[in-house]
Amino acid sequence: MKKFVNDPADVLAEALRGIQAAHPDLRVDAENRVILRAEPTRAGKVALVSGGGSGHEPMHGGFVGRGMLDAAAAGEVFTSPTPDQVLAATQAADSGAGVLHIVKNYTGDVLNFEMAAELAAAEGVQVESVVVADDVAVTDSTWTAGRRGTGTTVILEKIVGALAEEGADLAAVAALARRVSEAGRSMGVALTSCTVPAAGRPTFELPDDEMEVGVGIHGEPGRSRVKLASAREIAKLMVDPIVHDFGDAVGPAIVLLSGLGGTPLIEQYLLYGEIAPLLADAGVDVQRVLIGDYITSLDMAGASLTVVEADDEMLRLWDAPVVTPGLRWGA
């Protein structure tokens, strides 16, 4: 295993040390493994709390800051945080105006956030939750745990964070979160496995001439394994199911192409060069584009595409100032 690590058991604690050292705007609660804004939540502002397993950086800790999250609970690698962690994040972030939990749809995340929300409610904190489930690779979602939550989470955190910053109340913040969540679709492709530090070897073996289509962000194998294809063909494998899932013509959209951690930016741009015309052909009116490593799967070579149908309010909030390690503009 070729990684910058000391003891694999300490990866999370030590990465949090680095985050604290690098970002004076953030405060790391090392005991609870929670990343917070250094400044307490403004009175009256609804707090946004997210979290999940680690290994997806900059998500979520890198999205804590003005205009986006108030706190993020960091679980072990690929392991959702515990209710205690989420509760600590929730209580620390709450200014009295309530807290929105942004949860990705994985059994572990859903259960742990659910328990945390119950505990927080018992402590008198108002909590609303939104569960993101945008991965169109999961087609049989009615009979199963449903779709996974992936890239839409990033876009949601940005847009809804901006609304919260404007002072909207919890109901309005939660309503917008649900709208964004429903407007997003994602699809991921992996060229290699990733290596979980504690496991010490790749999660799966993939021959040199094969790739995994329809992967999530936890190094799990995808929906199908196919022959390695050209960027042009891969772009189609990503765009088609998303466009198909939208059904009707898609309106104005925000598009995120995220590398999965082991794919350099030059390849991401090349891939986007293939994706853009396909989206245009499908009638998607791309208004904003984000390319880079925003939601990752450790060192996996691969990429995920997210399309969020965005109305004027969402676009306005997307453009609003944001100051986080992972996304920063307008201030």
Active site residues: 56, 218
| Cβ closest to other proteins, residue 111 vs residue 171 | 111
Number of residues that bind a copy of itself (CB under 8 A): 62
* Alpha carbon separation from 31 to 123, 216, 243, 275 (Å, rounded): 20, 29, 44, 43
Find the shortest distance in angstroms from Cβ 199 to ligand ADP: 12
| In the complex, minimum distance from the CB of residue 168 to other proteins, in angstroms, rounded to a whole number | 31
Nearest-5° Cα angle at 162, 160 to 166: 115
Q: How far is the CB of 28 from ligand ADP (least distance, A)?
A: 24
Regarding 82 and contact with Mg ion (CB under 5 A), the answer is: no
Helix (H) or strand (E) run with residue 87 in it: helix 83-93
Distance CA 96, CA 281 (A): 48
Q: Please state, in angstroms and as integers, the Cα–Cα distance from residue 1 to each residue in 167, 217, 297, following that order.
A: 47, 19, 16
Binding flag, residue 90, Mg ion (CB under 5 A): no
Identified binder of a copy of itself from the candidate list 186, 296, 304, 306, rule CB under 8 A:
296
Which tokens belong to 179?
Answer: 């709208």
Residue 25: phi, psi to the nearest 5?
A: -75, -15
In this chain, which stretch among 65-73, 75-83, 151-159, 309-317 interacts with Mg ion, using CB under 5 A?
Answer: 75-83
115 interface partner picked from other proteins, a copy of itself, Mg ion, none, CB below 5 to 8 A per type:
other proteins
- Comparing CA positions, the residue from 39, 74, 41 lying closest to residue 55 is 74
In Å, how far from its chain's centre is CA 107? 16
Query: Could you tell me how many residues of this chain bind Mg ion (CB under 5 A)?
Result: 2
Q: How far is the CB of 117 from a copy of itself (least distance, A)?
A: 27
Peptide bond into 321 cis (omega under 30): no
| 61 three-class SS | helix
Chain residues binding a copy of itself by CB under 8 A are 2-6, 11, 14-23, 54-55, 57-58, 62, 77, 191-192, 208, 211, 228, 230-232, 234, 261-274, 276-277, 289, 291-293, 296, 298-299, 301, 303, 323, 325, 328-331
